[in-house]
Amino acid sequence: MLLVLVVAGIVALEVRNVNGSAPVAGGGPVPVRIVAFNDLHGNLEPPSGSSGEVEDATGTAVEAGGAAHLAAHVARLRAEAANTVLLSAGDNVGASPVASALFHDEPTIEVLDALGVAASTVGNHEFDEGFAELRRLQDGGCHPVDGCVFRPGHDGASFPFLGANVVDAAGAPALPTSTVVEVGGVRIGVIGVTLRELPTVVTAEAVAGLTFGDEIAAADAASAELTAQGVAAQVLLVHQGDEGAGGGPSDCSVEPDGAGSAIAQGVSADVDAMFTAHTHQQYVCAQPDPAGNPRPVVQGLSFGRLLSVVDVVVDPATGDVVRDRTAARNEVVSRDVEPDAAVQAIVDEAVADAAPIANEPVGTITADLLRTGGPSGETPLGDVIADAQLAATRDAGAQVAITNPGGIRADLPFAPDGVVTYGEAFTVQPFGNILQVVTLTGAQLDAALEQQWAGQSSPRILQVSSTLRYGWSNAAPVGDRVTGITVDGVPVDPAAPYRVTVNNFLAAGGDNFTAFAEGTDLTGAEIDLDALLAYLGANPALAPPAQDRITVTG
């Protein structure tokens, strides 16, 4: 029997039977398999294009992902190890494809329940529609505006959303801090934290009244509570991670001094393993805890393409993990397995219900429009989206349009026939951000472009319309990397005003682009997706633009 006790503070709130597992006979060491995924983002169907591939240990691209394939691989891993716990490191929902998003991600919650998820931490995207909507997905009930649009009722998730560093306006925990899972006669404490910078990557309205504390301090407090209850075996789900540096799914290839590594090296030595997320990378590392002992720190890419597997052994006498018997790896969620029938049925229902809208043709393209590009950071799809946003706001006097790369969620693939459907366009631009035109001085525009490197381990390159051009150099110091800015071919005057289109997320200083928040004379416009749909409709047989707007000068 596998039991879950949800803990907030040190009070056990709930005990639930999740699924079956067997104690080990004879009272010997208990093997426990902990399986996790991260950043699913409502990808019920197998993702398309490069978003649906993984490079395996040999460097071969393998098609991966799809909720029913994910479920089949989870079932296999459970069959191999009776005492298996399935967890998620957050961003289960939000920025989802149309088959989930049209129904406020209720189909994804149904899938996670069918998978037998025992607990999840919250990611930033769980807050996309606000805390009340997050609570509805957890507790159940129909959407306050649209009602229950997937099924007659929504029962809520049977697993807890954790957030040890999420605090409400009264200073109390807004979410449970941890969960205790009983499996094979031993107890595993599961702690969940999200990134403390979360308010910078969602709209202010989504997190009004909430604060997000330091990840290490919150995890340590939750760990101490578990220890006080006698729960010695502990794992941490943290929706933060490191940037990748290449390598196979189970390589430890990460950039130095990453946020995930800092948390891993600082969190209490009582935590035995750490599952990370948010950066959509693949790695399996052994990071030293504060006592100098190694523990696994893993991340499994995104969109259900990898499963992170950490096999531990628990000493029943101490209840703690025997560290030197821990093994960790990432496994590819390949599509060469029979899809799980129960999960496939949920996916098929959602896809069929969404089909009348999702399959509507909205334009045509001549080749793949990719969200990845060359050394400058400019991308073909980013160019198209920025051009679409400029076209949609010309009547408001816009001279330039700039969009954030994090708002572009998938490629637009040419296959099979170059026809772009509403569902494909929605998957690219799922947030429903409002376009806004603001006046910036040339100096403020330059400051915004310089902020692409401010506080970043790697640059976050904004995507720009064809009317804006500039160069940048890595050899120059941060704050002075951008040169040669022109608008419509004319060098920018630092004192002159320019009308710039951004989405409401950037206009409020999102992603730490605070210079945009200094804009004046704000004029509201249409939704970003509507701008893209109109542009596709007005430009049939759209080709990838030349990548000549941003250049690397050194």
DSSP-derived secondary structure for 81-129: -SSEEEEE-S--SSS--HHHHTTTTHHHHHHHHHHT--EEE--SGGGTT
Task: Find all residues with CB under 8 Å of 519, minimum gap 6, and list them.
Answer: 438, 439, 440, 444, 500, 502, 507
Buried b (16+ CB within 10 A) or exposed e, 164-189: bbbbeeeeebbbbbbbbbbbbebbbb
The answer to whether the CB of 173 falls within 8 A of the CB of 133 is no
Task: Find all residues with CB under 8 Å of 180, minimum gap 6, and list them.
Answer: 3, 4, 5, 7, 12, 187, 188, 189, 190, 226, 229, 231
Q: Which residues pair with 503 in a beta bridge?
A: 435
Distance CA 24, CA 64 (A): 34
56, with CB counted inside 10 A (0-12, 13-18, 19+), is middle
Of the candidates 400, 440, 439, the residue with the CA atom closest to the CA atom of residue 549:
400
Encoded tokens for 390: 């400029």
pLDDT at 298: 98
pLDDT at 457: 73
Phi, psi of 533 (to 5 degrees): -60, -45
Strands 61-63 and 53-55 come out as: antiparallel
Buried b (16+ CB within 10 A) or exposed e, 259-284: bbbebbebbbebbbbbbbbbbbbbbb
Which sequence spans correspond to the domains of the chain? 2-349, 360-552
Three-state DSSP state, 384: helix
Distance CA 369, CA 127 (A): 29
Angle at 73 between CA 316 and CA 79, to 5 degrees: 45
pLDDT one digit per residue (tens) for the chain, 554 residues: 345 545 444 333 333 333 444 444 457 899 999 999 999 999 999 998 888 999 888 889 999 999 999 999 999 999 999 999 999 999 999 999 999 999 999 999 999 999 999 999 999 999 999 999 999 999 999 999 999 999 999 999 999 999 999 999 999 999 999 999 999 999 999 999 999 999 999 999 999 999 999 999 999 999 999 999 999 999 999 999 999 888 899 999 998 889 999 999 999 999 999 999 999 999 999 999 999 999 999 999 999 999 999 999 999 999 999 999 999 999 999 999 999 999 999 999 999 999 999 999 999 999 999 999 899 999 999 999 999 999 999 999 999 999 999 999 999 999 999 999 999 999 999 999 999 999 999 999 999 999 999 987 789 999 999 999 999 999 999 999 999 999 999 999 999 999 999 999 999 999 999 999 999 999 999 999 999 999 999 999 999 999 999 999 98
Type of residue found at 248? G
- 360-552: CATH number: 3.90.780.10
pLDDT at 257: 87
Phi, psi of 228 (to 5 degrees): -65, -25
Task: Write down the residue that tokens 């490079």 correspond to.
Answer: 55
Task: Find all residues with CB under 8 Å of 347, minimum gap 6, and list them.
Answer: 44, 45, 66, 67, 68, 99, 107, 111
Distance CA 389, CA 195 (A): 30
Q: Which fold has domain 2-349?
A: Purple Acid Phosphatase; chain A, domain 2 (3.60.21)
pLDDT at 13: 34
Phi, psi of 488 (to 5 degrees): 55, 35
Encoded tokens for 475: 């050899």
H or E segment at 69?
Answer: helix 67-80
pLDDT at 249: 96
CA dihedral 51, 52, 55, 56 (to 10 degrees): 150
pLDDT at 15: 34
Handedness of CA 115, 119, 121, 125 (dihedral sign): positive
Q: How far is CA 160 from CA 36, 239, 341, in A?
A: 15, 15, 25
H or E segment at 139?
Answer: helix 131-139
The answer to whether the CB of 457 falls within 8 A of the CB of 521 is no
Prediction pTM value: 0.90
The answer to whether the CB of 293 falls within 8 A of the CB of 315 is no
Distance CA 401, CA 394 (A): 10
pLDDT at 26: 54
The answer to whether the CB of 425 falls within 8 A of the CB of 360 is no
